[in-house]
Chains A and B, each alone.
Chain A
């Protein structure tokens, strides 16, 4: 990633309202997103992630800071110039936002019409795109006759019709069921590989990040907490906000509610093809109980974490730790009082 970023955000802040009632949505955000990558931005609702993505094409005007797209600062452009730039930034939404009075084909034509493409050519290109997203047989259907997944496919075709350099996805799968989410993410991944379009995904769902993102930024309370390769952030989350997102995915029901001393093992995708726990028990001669575990497969590798209840005997604890060290497994001792 030695090349220049396609989108660079510099000390960007956004405040809604003013005076006593002012709400800070984004606070000093700095981010670089590179051509061809799939970049995820994850945060709980209210963290500011939607505002951030809307600042990238200036649907929302930042209060301070710059947004640099493909080398030029778009915050200083005239309305006309900005409209031109927006044609190279496609966007899809949670609620699809299709024109309800137009057919699927005419919806795809819409972005081309705006870009000034002649009607005949637009129709041809729109048909190609519907084919690409797997809806060649639905060109005459109106949005009301399509399922959620099909609507999002039309929206993707519409967003990509003008060959944009970037595709912004604002919670694009949040209104879809898990199977449909899966297929839409597959499609986005495929289009990214085929056309090289840079994809920026805003989501509150960890599984979206796991499935297709290369890099991820964690946003919490209006600030970027952490940025890195997905597997690095997963292996060693640095901040509390990240841990919370990764370990519980924001769902507190999954929070462990035991008592005592525990060891949290973290799996980073390199050692789980070996029976680690079984070997440990054999080697240390002390059975341990697994109090909580959450693991998942990401690009064919196992990631996750596990809570082991620690035995009373300090000697055995030492042995266990030594074993884990030798196996290069990251761990952390934790104590729960509640």
Chain B
């Protein structure tokens, strides 16, 4: 009995399936994280500087961008994913598989990333920003030379958290044809009642989260010069 299970799991066919799923999952989460940061980082910084207490307060921009971010964050991911299918078709030409999932992952996570970035950047001491202003720094210089470098350790911690959250989303995407480990877990574990396969996927996902988090913490600690 046990032998059968082991044989089934570690059959060449199954192994290559899991391997393919693992690569897909990593591909989806890493690419989505990268694109989500490409969008979320500037948006987060925009929210920060246009804040009433920011370097360049602007109520209109702050409220508008803030409202869009909040709206996207409040739509449940599963629903958002179905809703953006037409957009996925437009951008990547398909509504299923890893590529299509990336589109919805980015839309779901960019606003989340923006808030993460905003909250990390807010930790930068107001006095340091004031000192930079007193030296004649422009808003752009303050963002690039002061806020981002000073907030770097916190931003990296945030990136580790964001990437693991996005990893969680990829598993959910498996339910609607998203591919990756999540799809294997659903197809084999749920539809075919092969519980062992499902748990195996869960274990792999847990391990990936651990690895992402550890790498993030390690880099953040490494680059933080505040601890003498």
Chain A residues near B (Cβ < 8 Å): 57, 59, 82-87, 89-91, 93, 95, 97-102, 110-111, 113-115, 142-145, 155, 158-159, 162, 168
Least CB distance, A62 to chain B, in whole angstroms: 16
A148 to chain B, nearest CB (A): 14
- Contact of A95 with B127 in the complex, beta carbons under 8 Å: yes
Q: A110-B145, A115-B135 are in contact. List 14 more A-B contacts (CB 8 A).
A: A57-B134, A85-B136, A89-B134, A91-B131, A93-B130, A99-B128, A99-B150, A100-B128, A101-B149, A101-B223, A102-B149, A102-B225, A142-B226, A144-B227
- Which residues of B, 171-228, contact A by the 8 Å Cβ criterion? 223-228
Contact B134 A100 (CB under 8 A): no
Q: Are B225 and A144 in contact (CB under 8 A)?
A: yes
**Given A110-B145, A113-B145, A145-B228: A100 touches B150 (CB 8 Å cut-off):** yes
Closest to B137 in A: A114
Q: Are B152 and A97 in contact (CB under 8 A)?
A: no
Q: How far is the CA of A82 from the CA of B137 in the complex (A)?
A: 10
CB distance from B224 to the nearest CB of A (A): 8
Contacts of A98 in B (CB 8 A): 128, 131
Would you give the shortest CB distance from B52 to chain A, in whole angstroms? Answer: 13
B125 at the interface (CB under 8 A from A): yes
Q: Tell me whether B225 and A97 are in contact (CB under 8 A).
A: no
Interchain CB contact under 8 A, B134 and A91: yes
With known contacts A95-B127, A100-B150, A142–B228 Cβ distance under 8 A: yes
- Are A93 and B136 in touch, CB under 8 angstroms? no
Question: Which residue of chain B has its CB nearest to the CB of A142?
Answer: B225
Docked Cα-Cα span, A162 to B135, in Å, equals 9
Q: How far is the CA of A102 from the CA of B223 in the complex (A)?
A: 11
Cα–Cα, bound, A89→B131 (Å): 11
A59 B135 Cβ-Cβ under 8 A: no
Q: Which residues of B contact A95 (CB under 8 A)?
A: 125, 127
Nearest CB of chain B from residue A109's CB, rounded to whole Å:
10
6 A-B residue pairs with CB within 8 Å = A87-B136, A98-B128, A98-B131, A100-B225, A115-B135, A144-B227
In chain B, positions 114-163 with a C-beta closer than 8 Å to chain A are 125, 127-128, 130-138, 141, 145-146, 149-150, 152-153
Majority SS at the chain A contact face: mixed
B131 CB contacts on chain A under 8 angstroms: 91, 93, 97-98, 155
Chain B nearest CB from A236 CB (Å) reads 36
A101 CA to B150 CA, complexed, in Å: 6
Residue of A nearest to B125 (CB): A97
Chain B residues lying within 8 Å of A93, measured Cβ to Cβ, are 127, 130-131
Chain A residues closer than 8 Å to B132, beta-carbon distance: 110, 114
Whether B150 contacts A111 by the Cβ 8 Å rule is no
Quick one: which of B130, B138, B146 contacts A99, CB cutoff 8 A? Answer: B146
Which residues on B sit within 8 Å (CB–CB) of A162? 135
Contact B149 A144 (CB under 8 A): no
* Cα(A141)–Cα(B153), bound, Å: 18
Contact A86 B128 (CB under 8 A): no
Q: Contacts A99-B150, A144-B226 given: A87-B130 contact, CB under 8 Å?
A: no
- Closest beta carbon of chain A to B27's beta carbon, Å: 32
The answer on a CB contact under 8 Å between A101 and B130 is no
Which residues of chain B have C-beta atoms less than 8 A from A89's C-beta?
A: 134
CA distance A102 to B145 in the complex (A): 10
Which A residues touch B125, using CB under 8 A?
95, 97, 100
> Are the CB atoms of A83 and B225 closer together than 8 Å?
no
| CB atoms of B152 and A101 under 8 A apart | yes
Chain B residues, CB < 8 A from A87: 135-136
CA–CA, A114 and B150, complex, Å? 16
The interface residues of chain A lying within 8 Å CB-to-CB of B223 are 101
Bound-complex Cα distance A158 to B227 (A): 22
For A84, A91, A114, the residue with the greatest tally of chain B CB atoms inside 10 Å of its CB is A114
Which of A97, A101, A142 has the most C-beta atoms of chain B within 10 angstroms of its own C-beta? A101
Q: A93-B127, A95-B127, A113-B145 are in contact. Are A101 and B225 (CB under 8 A)?
A: yes
- Please give, as numbers and ranges, the residues of chain A lying within 8 Å of B138 by CB-CB distance: 83
